[in-house]
Structure formats: C-alpha cells, structure tokens
Amino acid sequence: MMREMTGAEMVMQALIDQGVEHMFGYPGGAVLPIYDAMFHQNQVRHVLVRHEQGAVHMAEGYARSSGKVGVVLVTSGPGATNAVTGLTDALLDSIPVVCITGQVPTHLIGSDAFQECDTVGITRPCTKHNYLVRDVNDLARVLHEAFYVAQNGRPGPVVVDIPKDVQFAKGIYVGPENIQHKTYQPRLKGDGDRIRAAVELLAKAKRPVFYTGGGVINSGPEASRLLREFARLSGYPVTSTLMGLGAFPASDKQWLGMLGMHGTYEANMAMHDCDVMVCVGARFDDRITGRLDAFSPGSKKIHIDIDPSSINKNVKVDIPIIGDVKHVLDDMLTVWRAMKAEPDRRALASWWGQIDRWRARKSLSFQNSDQIIKPQFAIQRLYEAVKDKDVYITTEVGQHQMWAAQHFPFEEPNRWMTSGGLGTMGYGLPAAIGAQVAHPNSLVIDIAGEASIQMCLQELSTALQFNLPVKIFVLNNEYMGMVRQWQDLLHGGRYSHSYSESLPDFVKLAEAYGGVGIRCSRPGDLDGAIQEMINVDRPVLFDCLVDKMENVLPMIPSGKPHNEMIMPDHPEGLDDAISEEGKMLV
C-alpha cells in the first residue's frame, strides 16, 4: 500500500498495519498532530496514563503478558525524559516496546527551544535502537523497522523521535510488506556442530542441571514446551532465574525452584555442585552467580542465547550456542533422539538423591504466627485463593517481590511480570494495568510494598478511568524492607531513612480515587479479606499489615558463593555475613 498522507497519519496507519490494538500515552504540544490523527480513527485504543514512566511500564506489562509489542506515545522534552526509566527497564529485561516521541520542529533542533531535549542522545544507552526522523518520506519505513527491531532477536525498546513539522508534512506511506531490514538479521538457528557437542556432553553428565531464564519465555510458548519435553526425556533437574519463572511448571518433580541470591537451597547447591550446566536464555547475572570466581567451579557450561554479546560476558563457557531458544532446543532434541542418547541412570539417581537431601532442608520455611500476618503466609493464602483462576501477577520491587517469587508457584509462562534487571520500584501497578488491558476478563494482581506502591500510585486513576479492575496487594511492613534488611546486614541495624514514615491511609486513598480499600491485620481474617478483594469488580487497594522485621531468606550474601547461604533455620548467619572489611558490595 502506497499513498500520500501526513506524517501524523502515517504513524496511525503504521500502528494499524502492525496489528496494534492498544497504546499508552500522554499528549503534549510536540505530539498533538498525532493525537489529532488518532481522533479520526477507532482501530487503535489509546490508554491515557498519568505519568510517562507509567506508560512504558504499562506497555511492558502488556507485551509480557500477551507476546505483542507494547506501544507508547509521549511528547518531547519531559515527556521523553520521563519515559527513560521504563525504557531502561525494558532494555535490561528484554521487553519489546516501541516508544514514539514528539520533537520540536527540525529548524529548532539544537536551539534550546521550549520542551526540546536530545531524545536520541539521552535514550541511546537505554534502548535497543533509536531514530530521529527528519524526512517524512522516511517515516513509514522507520516505524515498520522499529517494530521489527523491537521484537526480533533479543527483544527490547526502540524509540522513534518525530519532529512536529515532520508530523504535519505530507509524504508517501509505504506498508510493512515493502520493508526489509538489510543489516539486522538475528541468527535463529544454532551451529550444528556445537549443538551435537552439547548433546554429547549432556548425555555423559553425572550431575547435570538446566539453568533457564527469561529468554525461554521471550522465545514463545513453543520454547517452554520444548524445555519441558527435554527435561522429561532426560530426567534432568531444572531451575530458573527470577525472569524465567513459569517456563517450567513449579509443580513438576524435576523443578528445583528459583536460584540466585534468594533462591532455594537445592537450586543453588545443584548449580554449585553440577558437572554440566545448560544455561538456556539467561545471562549469568550477578544476582545468580554470586562470587564469580567461586561460581559452579567444577562444571562444564553450555550457553544458549540469541544475543552474541551475552556469550562469555560474565562467565566463560565451554560450548556457546548463538540462536533462538526455540530453534536450538528443537535441534538439540532432534540430535538427542537421533543419537539415541541415554543418561547415566545410576549417576542420575545418585544426583537426585543428593538433591532430595538438599530439599529436606526446606529452605523456604518460616516461623508462622496466629497473632501477626507473616508476609510469606500472606502470599501463600493469596495463591490458594487464585490458583484455579485465570490470573496474572505483577510485582513492585523489594522484599515482597522475593516472597512472591518464592511462595507463588507458576505453571505457565507469561503469567509473571516483575522488574528484574533494573529493579524498578513503581513497576508493578502500571504493568498490571497493561496486563489487564491485554486480558480484560482475567484477574490481575500487583503484589506490592507500601514504599514501592507510592512510586506510581497515580496510575490508579488510569485504572479507574478505563474500568480496569486490577488488585493491588500491599505487604505493608512500614519499612523499605529490602533496604532495612541490608542495613541489618551491613550497617549495624542503623535504619537510615528506610522507615516508611507518614504513610497514607491506603483505604481512604483508594476510596478517594474511586476504588475500594481493604485492610487486614490478623491471620484469621486474611482468607475472607482476600476473597472480598477478588469478588470486587473494581480496582482494589488491599493494605495487608505484616510482620515489620521479617527477612527474606534464604540468602546468598554478596561476595559469597552459592554454598554459603544464610538459611531460615540459622538466621543468625546474618551476623556472620559481614566481610573482613565490615562491608560488601550490594
């Protein structure tokens, strides 16, 4: 399709041709022509946010829960800079987002005009790619390229900066069928020789483990199915990063739980003691590896990743395989069957025996109470209330995030949305709104803390305006809990500015917005209050008052290897975790 139209009309036509149904944005002077073009169509629904950071987080939640590209539209200057946190979050967690920003007219660029900023320069470090479009005849091509780049290879955010005069100018619109990116062609198929070598190494393993990450989920449902098939065929144990939860069912007997700083004892010990590790769609993040020179010291490492820059970046591996997880796992299974590979059954039985002994430590146990709500108990009761429902979970960032990851099991991918790489307080509520837009008939719950929820709480207004019945489940311990926990660990219990003072009355605040507020402080009342929250067909802010001083355990202290975890049955290990210098890098 080729016809003449304005730049603003091209934007809307490109979104329609890309199959976009929803976008999240906030109008301003430099983007008003696009908003005017939006007024004349009804195929793309616009969700008005209250802050541009919220717009990008909504697009992230929408993308992660639906598998589609999230779309954002903001104005120049502060509109673009307010989006930077969300763009950085999307980059670190590999989320496909296209962010369209307005810019001052081309003849004013560089003049410090009103609401001008160097959007391309500012967003270069926090996007997968970005564009400044100076010619209206380039605009359609750039928009279609942006969608291609955002969702192919390792997904990520792309910014398209459009000056106002380009939005008004007329040019020739070109449809996506006429666009082919000539320089960016991500490799999907892995090297055949390396795949065969990896399978041969795996088949001979005595103590193997699958270490899986968000790349399995980004590769699509087929990748998760292939992972499960490979695990069943081999009988090998599977663990996952925070971002990979749901790719392998938590109820499966081969599931070790989450690994890393607050992972399970069995997962971390298996990673430390394994002889062959298959890293599938993960990047050896510092929260996973602990001390690098002590990370899984005796293992041969296979790394499958679509991003070549992730290979050997943090951990030197023995067999790197660059390719899409779905394609590589499919080829590995084909080779495994063709070789008629059989695991060493005796060695595998011994390995599972050792894992069962680690499991017997019950590393996620906690001392419950009938007087005060323990945060772990609150998460468990929430799970029991919703486990048979069509539910999506988002989180803010902090202790509540870790408790949710530990105590809310996931059976399927794309049901768990959290900020992993950037650790963005304020992510959860807008992400929940984005997920609710994508799944209007589903139950969407943001598990939050009383500090994090106040970062983007204004988006509750968006939920009310668009009749999006998201539930905000606040674990209120009156502290920035993870900060307070580290102050216990590193700073002698000196709680410098980590106490959440001057908290609002969350019930009254919810009602002020037009939503529903619920408060619960006793364990015996929790089930009924949760059910009340679920039954309400409006946004709910649930203020769950929990134990103020509970810590997230188990825990690998920074600078320590996997086999030196602080366990719930020995929490005094917190006192011994301080290094010789009396401090450690967090």
List, in order, residues 6 or more apart from 407 with CB less than 8 Å away.
364, 376, 379, 380, 383
The pLDDT value given to residue 175: 93
Q: Is-catalytic flag, 248?
A: no
Q: Above 70 in pLDDT, residue 93?
A: yes
Selecting among 9, 12, 13, 52, the annotated active-site residue is 52
What is the rounded average pLDDT for all residues in the chain? 95
CB-count exposure of residue 398 (10 Å: 0-12, 13-18, 19+): buried
3-state DSSP helix/strand/coil percent for the chain, to nearest 5?
40, 20, 40
Cα 113 to Cα 268: distance, rounded to the nearest angstrom: 54
- Whether 192-359 and 375-545 share one fold: the answer is yes
Q: Over the stretch 465-518, which tens digit does the pLDDT of each residue have? A: 999 999 999 999 999 999 999 898 888 899 999 998 899 999 999 999 999 999
Determine the average pLDDT of the residues in 568-578.
Answer: 57
Selecting among 164, 300, 301, 374, the annotated active-site residue is 164
The pLDDT value given to residue 572: 53
Q: Find the range with the poorest average confidence among 16-30, 278-292, 384-398.
A: 278-292
Q: Which fold has domain 192-359?
A: Rossmann fold (3.40.50)
The pLDDT value given to residue 299: 97
Determine the average pLDDT of the residues in 23-49.
Answer: 98
Selecting among 1, 41, 43, 114, the annotated active-site residue is 114
The pLDDT value given to residue 559: 79
Determine the average pLDDT of the residues in 273-282.
Answer: 98
Cα 276 to Cα 296: distance, rounded to the nearest angstrom: 9
Selecting among 115, 354, 458, 465, the annotated active-site residue is 115
- Residue 395's φ and ψ, nearest 5 degrees, are -140, 160
Q: Is-catalytic flag, 511?
A: no
Question: What's the CATH class of domain 375-545?
Answer: alpha beta
Q: Which two tokens stand for residue 104?
A: 């001052």
Determine the average pLDDT of the residues in 575-586.
Answer: 40
Q: Is-catalytic flag, 189?
A: no
CB-based contact 278:210 (threshold 8 Å): yes
Band (200; pLDDT cuts 50, 70, 90): very high
Q: What is the dihedral of CA 426, 431, 436, 439, to 10 degrees?
A: -160
CB-based contact 56:32 (threshold 8 Å): no
CB-based contact 23:46 (threshold 8 Å): yes
Selecting among 58, 480, 482, 533, the annotated active-site residue is 482
Q: Which of 10, 155, 49, 167 has its CA nearest to residue 102?
A: 167
Band (576; pLDDT cuts 50, 70, 90): low
The pLDDT value given to residue 83: 98
The pLDDT value given to residue 150: 97
Q: How would you classify the pairing of strands 2-6 and 170-174? A: antiparallel
Q: Is-catalytic flag, 258?
A: no
Q: Is-catalytic flag, 482?
A: yes
Q: What are the residue ranges spanned by the domains of the chain?
A: 2-174, 192-359, 375-545
Q: What percent of the chain has pLDDT over 70?
A: 97
Candidates 3.40.50.970, 3.30.530.20, 3.40.50.620, 1.10.3720.10; CATH matching 2-174: 3.40.50.970
Determine the average pLDDT of the residues in 232-249.
Answer: 97
The pLDDT value given to residue 2: 79
Global pTM value? 0.95
Cα 511 to Cα 464: distance, rounded to the nearest angstrom: 11
The pLDDT value given to residue 580: 34
Q: Above 70 in pLDDT, residue 577?
A: no
The pLDDT value given to residue 488: 87
